[in-house]
A and B are shown apart, each in its own frame.
Chain A
Amino acid sequence: MSSSEATKGVRRGKRRFDVLPLLPVLIAGLTVLPVAVVVSALFTPSPEVWLHLWRTILPDMLTNTVLLLAGVGTGTLLLGVGLAWLTTTCDFPGRRSFTWLLVLPMAVPAYIMGFIYTAIFDFAGPVQTLIRELGLGIAVPQIRSPAGAILVMTLVLYPYVYLLARAGFEEQSGTAFEAARSLGAGRSRLFFRLALPLARPSIAAGVALALMEALADFATVRHFNFPTMSDGILRVWHGLMDLQAASEMAGLLAIFALVLLLAEKRSRSRRAYHQSKGRRPGIPAQRLSGWRGIAATALCSVVLIAAFGLPLAQLIHWATRELAVLTPGTFAVYARLAANSLTLSAAAALLTVALALLMISLSRLKGSRVSGYATRLVTIGYSIPGAVIAVGILILLAAIDRAANTLAVSWLNVTPGLILTGSLVGLIYAYGVRFMAVAYSGVESSMDKISPNTVLAGRALGARPLRLTLKIKLPLMLPGIIAAAILVFVDVMKELPITVVLRPMGYDTLAVWVWQMSSESLWTATALPALAIVLAGLLPIRLLLRIGTAHR
């Protein structure tokens, strides 16, 4: 910090007006703008739109959204905390492998999981067919139901809670637990009085992240005929092309998201419990013997198979059938889908990481309060559902296009039509808004890891700023920067709502293809692209786990 300030001081002297510190503010402004546009729609409500929404879809969707959040919240909380406690404090056969295997379901997007489950358990699916053929007469509960949607989302989203709860449990001082035991506390008392309250901030943050994902989802709930707010926005936009109604609903959804964001930020900031680091960190693991150990192994296996093994096996099964009949024509289609996905993901990753680097460097150079606020604003995007961002950007781009057309008509007497709306610009912009936080926090933590003394040591040895950056800072930050880029890359690859709304006509990606084919129950056609998405999704998990073990 001090080194940067000094060099900055020298440079500042030459310039009369410095625009650089304003850059972070500009970037932050552009990030917040689409959300602000949508939220401001709430302040200028059109009564007839609301009245119409209220009479038709709104009450159902509000109820469903609340129901989904309650269900997924409870489900991920129980599953995530339970598995985290089991794998950190109990020893049973396979525990070491399960600690990382149980994170894998994160790689399967909910919308892929959703159609696989409906395909397997629906009336026409293999399970019910088998039951009918065997004449067993077992009544299988309807999978296309609220409970089905909640189950599937819980299975893919519990790893957020699991990972953060584990981190919360692992950072607890082992001696505090030993002290509690010497004071007569049994295992349940250790859990409820000590472990749970201490890990609560981490757990709350995990649940908030899972709920943000659930709130943003539209495709999974549609598979299960369980329309929520996100789904509603897309229905209104696609079905009625009614931007006014869509933006009103998006505004409402944004409020939901901001409440979640606030809850998450609050719980994270309260992590400041002074936890003395003992010589023996971590809660001592207890060996589960006999049937209890087997039960623990069985529980972890069931979750892993349900949330990862089963969908993966089904996808591979479909994929082999598809590969058997693959023609050059369909191969070309897949290749184009993959190329589109890769282009978009790479562009978004480069853009967000470059902007994050720029913002962080500038805000550190200046250390000004304004750019400090700006950087905090830039990270709200990850909590905002894609549908909200998409609608906000549609409104913005449409306004710009309209203005451009008016100008062109009055000056040149030509009508250029839609320039920005329906171009890749809007799409990349929206990805930037949504995933800037991912790039930002990755780059920031990699920069935080550089000790100021390392840089000072370099300066003391006579290195100039450029050499410091190239020879010391950049090599130290590079792994973090690459990791951030990979995270954004994969997030964009899985992204659905923004892509569905903002993509140029006919510009399909892997995710959009999977979504379209699965809505028409063309299972085998989804297999290869879906498999590609899942495999790509394993990449960031690999990073996540490496970071996790490096800490220990």
Chain B
Amino acid sequence: MTFKPDGQPADGLSAPSYVELSDVRKEYDGCVAVDDLSVSIARGEFFSLLGPSGCGKTTTLRLIAGLERPGSGRIAVDNRLVSDASFVLPPEERGVGIVFQDYALFPHMTVFENVSFGLHGRGKAHIHHRVGELLDLVGLTGLGKSYPHELSGGQRQRVALARSMAPSPSVILLDEPFSNLDADLRTTLRQETRDILRVEGATVILVTHDQEEAFSFSDRVGLLNAGRLEQVGSPYQIYHHPASRFVADFVGKADFIPCTLRGDRLVSSLGRFRHQGLSGPDSAPFELMIRPDDVTIAPDPLGEAIIAETIFLGADALYTLELPDATRLHSLGPSAKLLPDGTRVKVTVELAHVVAFPKD
């Protein structure tokens, strides 16, 4: 697989765009929240907006929902203009479902009433059928008469999901819907939600700050930083072919080792690595990205590194290694055979993908 800098997916997912944002900009009191953002999302695609808090991802979601008016740019859904600086189709006419972080369930209504809220005006038989179907789908069969305060956090999340799906919206927006759940439940519900939404065939946009969530949930991930898209691509591309140091840092632990360009090789204290597509004058300084799982260590009295610190993670242990030139490097190894601090080790770096950034 090759990395394309324009972020187009390399795995064939280039269907015609369904949700299209073109140069969308939003400012609050002179503060830029979304900075000329353009992205197109295909019908039926699961797309994640990933980024640190305050990067503008929730604002982007609210713009798509029609809850905010863009300062400039345009948003189209299914080739129909829904928002620009002068026109905003109100959310109630948009047919876009939302699941909020706090679920925003209607506390005075039963689960049935909550889920059927969006089916207002349809026939009674249809409503009963649809709500029953959805409650079965999200695993809440028989809880229709319960009130939100009688439910657990996970159940509330599922009610919110069923409610947003009830009118069969073409697009469903998920605003950090798993962040209020326990770690265990989060993983299970994430997969369940994914499966449920696949059944409905909806186009889904998820907002999250958790890269694992974004990776495991979506077909493509857009990484947002300070209102700008740093990179759009498949989870594999984002993780293994980050387009910038920011992306590399954000989606996983990485060390950046100084190196220099020599023809088709990068030369560093840890060895020489063949690169692809990097260009620059000879001996130009670069930084080589090395992830802890690329680094294996073996005890060796003649080894070049010393274990400075060990963090026990459970199945794995994260070692901090100190190299002769005092640079530090991390290595992930099995925790069963834990090596004590101060052990001299031999370092082997095996890079499946060589990623390097020019050093300023």
Contact = CB atoms under 8 A, between A and B. Distances in A.
Interface in B89-139: 90-98, 100-108, 117-118, 120
A284 B90 CA distance: 13
Interface stretch (A268-276, A368-376, A430-438): A268-276
A181 B120 contact: no
A182 B102 contact: no
B120 A274 contact: no
A463 to B, nearest CB: 39
B120 A189 contact: yes
A183 to B, nearest CB: 3
A276 B108 contact: no
A284 B88 CA distance: 15
Given A182-B94, A194-B106, A278 B100 contact: yes
Contact of A178 (B104, B160, B169): B104
A67 B286 CA distance: 87
A198 interface: yes
Contacts of A193: 106, 117
Contacts of A189: 120
Contact of B91 (A176, A182, A275, A277): A182
A101 B132 CA distance: 50
B88 to A, nearest CB: 12
A185 interface: yes
B120 A184 contact: yes
A16 interface: no
A178 B105 contact: no
A498 B90 CA distance: 57
Contacts of B90: 181
B65 interface: yes
Interface string A161-193: 000000000000101101111111110010001
Contacts of B149: 273-274
A59 interface: no
A276 B101 CA distance: 10
A176 B92 contact: no
Interface residues of A, number: 25
B167 A183 contact: yes
B164 interface: yes
Interface size range of chain B in the complex: 20 to 34
A183 B65 contact: no
B257 to A, nearest CB: 40
Contact of A182 (B97, B101, B148): B97
Contacts of A198: 107-108
A548 interface: no
Given A178-B98, A274-B148, A184 B118 contact: yes
A149 to B, nearest CB: 36
B120 A179 contact: no
A178 B163 contact: no
**Most B-side CB within 10 Å, residue of A176, A183, A186, A194:** A183
Interface string B291-335: 000000000000000000000000000000000000000000000
B108 A179 contact: no
B207 to A, nearest CB: 12
B104 A279 contact: no
A186 B169 CA distance: 17
A276 B105 contact: yes
Contact of B92 (A175, A182, A276): A182
A197 interface: yes
A360 to B, nearest CB: 30
B224 interface: no
A276 B106 contact: no
Nearest to A272: B149
B106 A178 contact: no
A184 B119 CA distance: 9
Contacts of B95: 184
Interface string A37-67: 0000000000000000000000000000000
Contacts of A194: 106
Nearest to A198: B108
Contacts of B163: 179, 183
Contact of B106 (A176, A184, A284): A176
Given A178-B67, A178-B91, A183 B105 contact: no
Contacts of A275: 107
B120 A278 contact: no
A278 B104 contact: yes
Contact of B108 (A181, A273, A279): A273
B166 interface: yes
Given A178-B65, A274-B148, A274-B149, A186 B102 contact: no
Contacts of A180: 106, 117
A181 B104 contact: no
A184 B92 contact: yes
Interface string B163-192: 110110100000000000000000000000
A278 B102 contact: yes
A408 B167 CA distance: 86
Nearest to A284: B67
A448 B256 CA distance: 54
Contacts of B167: 183-184
A197 B106 CA distance: 10
24 contacts: A175-B100, A175-B104, A178-B65, A178-B98, A179-B163, A180-B106, A182-B65, A182-B92, A182-B94, A183-B92, A183-B118, A183-B120, A183-B163, A184-B92, A184-B93, A184-B95, A184-B120, A185-B120, A273-B107, A273-B108, A275-B107, A276-B103, A278-B101, A279-B102
Given A173-B104, A197-B108, 4 more contacts: A175-B100, A181-B91, A182-B65, A276-B105
Closest 3 CB pairs of A and B: A183-B118, A175-B104, A274-B149
